[in-house]
Structure 1
Amino acid sequence: MDLDAYVAEHRGQWQRLEHLTRRRKLSAEEADELIALYQRATTHLSVVRSRTPDPVLLARLSQLVLAARAAITGSHRFRWSEVGRFFTVSFPVTVYRARAWWITVGLAFTGVWLLLMAYVAGHPETQRALMSEGQISSLVDHDFENYYSEHPAQDFAFQVWTNNAWVAALCLASGVLVVPVFYMLWTNLLNLAVSGGVMISHDRGELFFGLLAPHGLLELTAVFVAAGVGLRIGWSWIVPGPGLTRSRSLAETTRAAMTVAVGLVVVLLVSAGVEAFVTPSGLPTVARILIGAGVWGGFLVYVFAFGSRAAARGETGDIVRESREEYAPTV
């Protein structure tokens, strides 16, 4: 292929395409022309790449095609109002609409945890089957209490935050398979039940709940939300909603999970701060629990107040629908 001849033949189209991509507003005819020229330019780029891969021409055409694609789809500009809408509409309404799922998960988890913890506390032989005498003594005497204060608070907060965010992400990501969500919930439940049962049987129950409650209320609720939404994803393709195909039902529920994932990052950051700075503090136990209960109650009020209001207006929290106009062709 004669590269110079090819460039001379199509230069006018490329210049016109470049001109249209720089225009802020286009008429309907110009928008159609932009799309047609973009399609031709992508073909030209493919031809040049396969037959005469001149690096200078490839770079120019690649840049032109990318600019034209951005002009067709529309450029999304960051606005602080979008952040405000996310935290006042998208996140709370998505969590609110999934409330039946995460409340059910939370109640089931708490009920099984309390029963299993009571069983472990009342059966020393079970404790010894799960832990050695040395491990039990270490847990009761210092390990459980020292866990919250053995590292600098800011480092501990970051460690807790990343770990809990990872657990929440796994619950959301594996929800389509259903079983992994139950496995992660069971793992956390068993750890809490064994630790609590051992502490209670050695008259350290007040210390256990005094250290767990301040951050645990919000932290576990965030995990319940992630697990509930994750299970909702799995259920969406098992039993699609009325008038929905399995793929559409799964897509809509997964988009909701993306909203929840982003919001829970902030929620878990707050719970990590409480765990690192309030739980091991020298405040009286009652004061620490009241702080944790206040933060937890604030989250619930936030979700139900903002979420119910947005749901009444017909909001769904679907981030794709909200963004469609931003990615529409500019005419």
Structure 2
Amino acid sequence: MADQIDPSKTADPRGDLHSPLISTAIMTNNIRVAVMAFISGVTLGFGTAYLMISNGLIVGALAAVFMQSGKSYVFWAYILPHGIIELSAIFIAGGAGLYMGYRFFVPGPFPRRARFLESAKESAQLLIGTVPLFVIAGIIEGYITPSTLSLEVKYLIAGGTLVILALYYMYGARNVKQKNRNHSAIKHPST
């Protein structure tokens, strides 16, 4: 893989001539990887672990090639704007697949089959929740990554995506806590 990469060609952006096509292809591929990481959970998590590790090795190998050539700053400027959202979504999908495998091995007091089916349903909801993240990451990768924006602006965009993702997570966590409080109040009304 390292022999096929020429870091010296990354100084110039690809241009945005075919951005809609590139963006669509990227979104489709990333959603496919997420679905495969999720579906691989039926292999008791082994297939999911393999997919996550192999994809991590690819990113790591690319980072190492660019670091050795002194182009890490350029590499991360092209990866982080879309990568923060994209990798988070892939981790969520992979976690959903691993959760299914985990629940098969650790069903608790429930029958193994029932627990696995319940965890598959919960995991599918997580997977569906990643689709908008992949759409946003694909749009960023199709339009911002190849653009002629300065590397500093790309880093600012990456920081913005990180802040937005963190706020989205905190908003969801707050809603879950509120929902649990409301559910608890309904089950145990105060007298």
Q: TM-score, normalised by structure 2?
A: 0.84
* Residue identity in the other structure for 2:139: G
Cross-structure match for 1:305 = 171
Q: Deviations over 1:116-154 (max 9, x none)?
A: xxxxxxxxxxxxxx644xx34xx2122x56785486000
1:289 to 147, 155, 161: 155
- CA–CA separation in structure 2 for the residues paired with 1:274 and 1:284: 15
Cross-structure match for 1:230 = 97
Q: SS in structure 1 opposite 2:180?
A: coil
Alignment of 1:249-264 (within 5 A): 249-264=115-130
The answer to whether the Cα contact below 8 Å between 1:240 and 1:249 also exists between their aligned partners in 2 is yes
- Structure 1 residues without counterparts, runs of 5 or longer: 1-129, 316-331
The answer to whether the Cα contact below 8 Å between 1:161 and 1:269 also exists between their aligned partners in 2 is yes
- CA–CA separation in structure 2 for the residues paired with 1:271 and 1:298: 13
Alignment of 1:272-287 (within 5 A): 272-287=138-153
Give the alignment's Cα RMSD to 1 decimal: 2.2
Identity %, equivalent residues: 24
Q: Flag the structure with larger Rg.
A: 1
CA 1:183/1:148 → structure 2, altered by over 3 Å: closer, same or farther? Answer: farther
The answer to whether the Cα contact below 8 Å between 1:168 and 1:226 also exists between their aligned partners in 2 is yes
Alignment of 1:168-247 (within 5 A): 168-177=34-43, 178-241=45-108, 243-247=109-113
CA 1:148/1:190 → structure 2, altered by over 3 Å: closer, same or farther? Answer: farther
| TM-aligned CA deviation for residue 167 of structure 1 | 0.4
Matched positions, count: 180
Q: Deviations over 1:63-117 (max 9, x none)?
A: xxxxxxxxxxxxxxxxxxxxxxxxxxxxxxxxxxxxxxxxxxxxxxxxxxxxxxx
Q: SS in structure 2 opposite 1:203?
A: coil
* Residue identity in the other structure for 1:152: H
- CA–CA separation in structure 2 for the residues paired with 1:165 and 1:268: 7
Worse-matched range after superposition: 150-159 or 292-301 = 292-301
- CA–CA separation in structure 2 for the residues paired with 1:215 and 1:261: 18
- CA–CA separation in structure 1 for the residues paired with 2:38 and 2:130: 11
- Structure 2 residues without counterparts, runs of 5 or longer: 182-191
* Residue identity in the other structure for 1:181: T
The answer to whether the Cα contact below 8 Å between 2:38 and 2:97 also exists between their aligned partners in 1 is yes
The answer to whether the Cα contact below 8 Å between 1:176 and 1:235 also exists between their aligned partners in 2 is no
Q: SS in structure 2 opposite 1:240?
A: coil
